[in-house]
Every structure is written in C-alpha cells, then in structure tokens.
Amino acid sequence: MENHREAQVSDAARLGTKINPVTCAMPMQIENPRLIEALSQLDQLTNWEQRPRGEMRVGLEPILDLSARLGDPHRAFRSIHVAGTKGKSSTSALLEASLRHAGISVGRYASPHVEHISERISVNGWPVEEGVLAEALFLALDALRAARAEATAAETATWFDMLTVAAFLIFRDAGIAWAVVETGLGGRLDSTNIVNSDVSIITNIGLEHTEILGKTRAAIAFEKAGIIKPHSTVVTPLEADDEAGAVIARRAVEIKARLTRPDLSKASTIASRNVAVAGAALDVLGELGVTAREGEAVGAWLIDAQAERDSHLPGRLERFVVPAEGKAVAVMLDGAHVPFNLEAVLDDLSGMEGFSGPGIAVVAIAADKDAAGLLDVMKRYGVSPIFTSVSNRFRSPAELQMLAGAIGLASEVIEDPQAAYERALERAAEVDAWVILTGSLYLAGLLRQHVMEQEMKSLSGRR
C-alpha cells in the first residue's frame, strides 16, 4: 500500500498545488530574501529558546506596547488559549482541523517548530507563506524601532514577542474568526497571554522549566492557570484531588470561570486523550453558539478520522519504516522530553505493529530537563540509549552516559546526530529491534528529512 506521505507529494505534484511543508518531505530552507532579512534582524534580539532559561526575565509589558502600536491585532478574532506540559500542539492541531472542516476560518500559533519557522503560524490549515511572514515581521520591527526611539516598554521586546505579534497581525489580515494559540512557556506571563480567550485549555502539568515556573506541580499549575480569563471556560483533565488540578480549580472559582473536565475513562492512548480534551473544548464552543457551515452547533462530533489525519504533526508519534542491513526497521520520531510523556509514548508503542521487542533510542536532552527521570523510564521499558549532541543548551552525551551508568543502563555516545541514528539502525537490524529518536523536538528536526528520504527511497525501490 502506498505510503500516505508519498501519496501527498505525488498528488500535489500532479495537481500543480503547493506542498505543505508541515507534513511532506520537501526542502525546509528559507527561500524568501525578505524573510531571511527579517529573521536576521530578529536574531539580534533576546531569544530564550536559544539561551539558558535560568536567566529568563518575563513580562507582558513589551508585547502589550508592541501590540498597541500595531492596532492591537489580537482583538480582531476570538481565541482558544492552550497551555500544558505536553499535548499542547496535538490538541491545538485537532481543534484547528475540526474548525476548518466545519467551515470556520481558523489560525493556529504554535512553538517550537521542527524544521521550518512557518510551522508556527498556520492559516486555515496551511503554514504561513514566507512573504506574508516577512511583511508582518517588518511591521513588528518598525514598531520596535519606534519604541526604542521613545524609550517605551517594547524596546526590550524579545524574539518570541516579535513573532507572536506578527502571528496576530497575520491572523487579523487573513480575516480569521478563531485562533488557537499555544503558550510558549508557562502562561501567566507568556507573550501569548494578551489574548482575551473565550476558552482556555490546560492539558496536563509536569515538572518542566522549574527554574522559571516553580519547583512543584502546584507552582507550575499556578503559572499555567494564569491564562484563564474571568467568566470564560477552562478545560482540563486534571482532577480536583490532584495538586495541580486543585490550583486550576481554585483559580477558576476566584475569577468566576467555568471549569469542565473531559471524560478520559476510555482514553487509553496519547491520541485518544488529546481527542477527548479537544472534543470537550469544541463542545464548549458549541454552547457559546459557534456553528458549523450547516448551522449545527460545533462539538466533539467534528473530530473524525479526517480531522485526526489532518492534525498529525512532525516529530509527534511520527512513524517510519526504513531499510537497514536488508531488513525493515520501524522508526519513531517523538520529541518527548518529560518522563511522564516518554512513558506514555512507550506505552503506546508497545501496542503498535513493529514496536515489540527491544528498543534503541537516539537521545538528546536539554539542560533544564529531568534527564534522570527520562533515563529511568528508558530502563524500565528496556530501551537502550545512544546519546548525541544537539547544541550547547543540551546536556553533554558524556554526562548522560554517566547518569545512565549510575542506574545500570548500558548506553553509547556518538556526538554526531546522524551517525548516532545510523548506528541505531545498524544495531536494530542486528537484534530485530526498533528505533526511537526522542528527548527533544530539535533532535527530531535535525534528522527528520534524512529519515523521510530513507523511507521514500525504500518505497521507490519496491516498485
């Protein structure tokens, strides 16, 4: 049976339509000179995605100033605001696909990107065109220069502030009705928290970015609950007897927001849990009077098989089959970087064809992540890691190998990510194992095109 990614590429070529770079194996380099120039100017600003976050200073004043100078574009559409340690992007993509299928114009703002910056901003299911993004960024840069000349709050705007306000400009100019907006980090003081959302979603709470958000799940929940707006509705699967869920429930009461919890009793996989959460949010929209093209209230019924296919994202439970030493090896890309999510991923894999038996992981872990917890999960699931290097924001492979050795987990170190991946394939072919690239979406982004090309060549060779 023809692979769905190959079918997408061939169909697009036959019809003469543009390729969607979020899902297809096309070149990811930036081609528009104006966008290259705009991003070059943005790169002169503080980018907390590239710097040690222990030094991070956050606040809404810079983006509020920027936005005011640009006509407050976030007021031109209604919004759903999504926070959580994991599941934000997949839940947001489900909402986007479902609303689009209902005939509602919708935008989605997400972070980080895996391969191309256009993944972060989509309009009606398509990544923003490079030229459109460039012009929005130049408007934001003009506002920044004016703020610097007048010494107002926006003079300290960050890279993420600028991209966020550019996204809102793009949504306004595209005339979208609804935007699904993911937080970047935390919630209360995140740049995205200038939106006045009708519905907020908090997918889950784990220990992440503890040097900024707090050392406990309750402290982190307080920050994420900061996205809930007075008299709005918050959707969360976290129960009231959970320490984080209790914080969210208390905040909802304080600001007279309604809290609704999806039924997860039949949700046994990551995908089914995301569907339950997104479905609950869609039900809330229906209660608010949002209707599909036929006039029927929107709701969880919109999430069908097509919506699930259209919402699949790169680097999230993304499965490939590639050749190695004459065998077909199952390869999974998933950027799980907190222990509870990696455990959920490995649970899901145990029920998938091709992922029984031993596993070999190519792993990179950022310095602010719970490396010991991630390695403990790998040991419990019988996954052998090969540690590799992504950037200086990540733990060194040698340090990770020491942590693994301390718990009796055998590992290898190969500094070059592609060489580490090829070694994993070689070992997998030898012992009938499968491979997972995990610990970081940045690692997935570095290797995704190579993995896709291997799969495509294999498919072509079988014809």
- The correct CATH number of 18-310 out of 3.40.1190.10, 1.10.760.10, 3.40.640.10, 3.40.50.1820 is 3.40.1190.10
CA–CA separation, 373 vs 382, rounded Å?
A: 14
* DSSP of 395-437: --HHHHHHHHHHTT---EE-SSHHHHHHHHHHHHHHHT-EEEE
Residue of 390, 343, 340 lying closest to 363 (CA atoms): 390
pLDDT of residue 11: 34
CATH 3.90.190.20 domain span(s) along the chain:
318-461
Confidence of residue 462 (pLDDT cuts 50, 70, 90): low
pLDDT of residue 209: 62
Q: What is the three-class DSSP state of 293? A: coil
pLDDT digits (tens, 9 = 90+) for 334-390: 999 899 899 999 999 988 989 988 999 999 998 888 999 999 999 999 999 999 999
Confidence of residue 49 (pLDDT cuts 50, 70, 90): confident
pLDDT digits (tens, 9 = 90+) for 4-13: 344 333 333 3
pLDDT of residue 211: 59
pLDDT of residue 460: 67
The CA-CA-CA angle for residues 232, 234, 239, to 5°, reads 145
Parallel/antiparallel/unpaired status of strands 106-109 and 121-123: antiparallel
Confidence of residue 53 (pLDDT cuts 50, 70, 90): low
pLDDT digits (tens, 9 = 90+) for 225-251: 999 999 999 999 999 899 999 999 999
pLDDT of residue 59: 86
pLDDT digits (tens, 9 = 90+) for 73-106: 999 999 999 999 888 999 999 999 999 999 999 9
Instruction: Characterize 232-249 residue by residue with b for buried, 16 or more Cβ atoms within 10 angstroms of its Cβ, and e for exposed.
Output: bbbbbbbeeebebbebbb
pLDDT of residue 55: 56
- The correct CATH number of 318-461 out of 3.90.700.10, 3.40.50.2300, 3.90.190.20, 3.20.20.30 is 3.90.190.20
* Structure-token pair, residue 118: 């256009």
pLDDT of residue 238: 93
Q: What percent of the chain has pLDDT over 90?
A: 75
CATH 3.40.1190.10 domain span(s) along the chain:
18-310
Strands of 412-413's sheet, edge to edge? 318-324, 327-333, 434-438, 359-363, 383-387, 412-413
The 3 state secondary structure assigned to 191-223 is HHHHCCCCEEEECCCCCCCHHHHCCCHHHHHHH
